Structure 1
């Protein structure tokens, strides 16, 4: 299993900062609507995907009425029927592989916006499949650092986790997609589905700065939900 990861901390900090600058509630609302539409209904007790997004929305202090309105949209009571999730792949400045998760009502427009950002920052969008094979779809559970790594490792392994990674401020536990709900319940952490690099590449310090700025610009786009980088 893995050890300490500084870049994971950097990516998490950048994502949190960028989310505060962007229209966070709009992005969360779209995520809720899509989770309802694609995940099997508006009841979080039976729709695990929806439950994860609602937990994230509550942590961001999203008002209950906003959450319910987003659920209603997902049930077809608003404009949510036009929304869809879309994945874009590309290469960042310095050559790092990137997967961008979006929710959009117009994939052509979103693709054009992303292409413009990639090209302006020294990267480029790639065709579907050019980058995806470098990542795996896994569950990720965040745990507060209230114990030593070895103790967390043992508990995670016993719960059925695949890997554990330590960042500067928390532990990240990784699971198979189908095990996320069960392991998260056993460990008592917040879970979500992510794209995790199969192998991390090395970037130089100047390229790291460019990459951080690039990811920040991507997060500022209204349609962008998550950005995953293989470094």
Structure 2
């Protein structure tokens, strides 16, 4: 299993009892704002907005907050003078691991400064635009839980236009498709009786860097954790590969 996939699973599990609840609320609220801005402010006609709202409700965000975020994205919320900008940053971590950061910010100078400090304090460096993005392809990913029959999952995935799938944990799979096909795949899997717990856009690396040194592994994971803790950061993606044993030791 690629280390970045396992790390994503660990982060999802931690998020359930994450003490940084405010950070989660900020991320999810901003995702709603962005989705409403990029499409119609009606979840029935905007798949990105619909999934963002589902995640927000699952995290316990009140309906009033969700409606306020939609209004901000639609530009109908009075008194909102902050304009969020979607920016992608790129850099390198320990061992030359490539890192992509997706951010939503109302002050790109502040965000860049915060990222630069995070990289420099954890053995990495913030790079120029395009320095690592060529190593990644953006895909749509459905997280499916309760998979007991892989043949049925394969059949449903193919019918939904999936490119591939991977069992990441016991009875849990990640099904991958083209970005434009994510909504169709999501609905097909649900129609076939599968429990889709998340449908998201993700940057997937075309090649991985194997990390075997425990000190470098610890520095790398600390860097990623630090980046993810920043208020303006929405997602962090990397191309490291690490054994589960080393990953577990380094996370502790």
Post-superposition, which runs of at least 4 consecutive aligned residues in structure 1 deviate over 3 A? Answer: 4-7, 148-151
Partner Cα distance (2:43, 2:221) in 1 = 34
Q: Does structure 2 conserve the Cα–Cα contact (< 8 Å) formed by 1:87 and 1:101?
A: yes
Q: Does structure 1 conserve the Cα–Cα contact (< 8 Å) formed by 2:96 and 2:209?
A: no
Task: Show structure 1 runs of 5+ residues with no match.
Answer: none
Aligned to 2:83: 82
Aligned to 1:21: 19
Deviation at 1:72, TM superposition (A): 1.1
Aligned to 1:92: 93
SS at match of 1:94: helix
Query: Which range moves more in the overlay, 121-130 or 164-173?
Result: 164-173
Q: Does structure 2 conserve the Cα–Cα contact (< 8 Å) formed by 1:40 and 1:47?
A: yes
Query: Which range moves more in the overlay, 58-67 or 13-22?
Result: 13-22
Deviation at 1:203, TM superposition (A): 1.0
Structure 1 residues 49 and 97, CA, compared in 2 at 3 Å: closer, same or farther?
same
Aligned to 1:200: 208
Deviation at 1:16, TM superposition (A): 5.0
Q: Say if 2:153 is the partner of 1:152.
A: yes
Structure 1 residues 11 and 215, CA, compared in 2 at 3 Å: closer, same or farther?
same
Deviation at 1:152, TM superposition (A): 1.8
Aligned to 2:113: 112
- Give the 5 Å matches for 1:1-231: 4-5=1-2, 7-14=4-11, 16-17=13-14, 20-22=18-20, 23-37=23-37, 39-76=38-75, 77=77, 78-79=79-80, 82-169=83-170, 170-188=172-190, 189=196, 190-206=198-214, 207-231=216-240
Q: How many residues align?
A: 227
Partner Cα distance (1:102, 1:80) in 2 = 19
Task: Show structure 2 runs of 5+ residues with no match.
Answer: 191-195, 241-252
Partner Cα distance (2:221, 2:139) in 1 = 23
Provide Cα deviations, 1:147-197, integer angstroms capped at 9, x if missing partner. 233432232122210110111252000000111000110002231111111
Partner Cα distance (1:127, 1:205) in 2 = 27
Partner Cα distance (1:140, 1:105) in 2 = 28
Partner Cα distance (1:55, 1:88) in 2 = 27
Deviation at 1:13, TM superposition (A): 1.4
Query: Which range moves more in the overlay, 183-192 or 197-206?
Result: 197-206
Partner Cα distance (1:204, 1:91) in 2 = 17
Partner Cα distance (1:103, 1:110) in 2 = 9
Q: Which structure is larger by alpha-carbon Rg, 1 or 2?
A: 2
SS at match of 1:79: coil
Partner Cα distance (1:159, 1:5) in 2 = 25
RMSD: 1.8
Structure 1 residues 66 and 49, CA, compared in 2 at 3 Å: closer, same or farther?
same
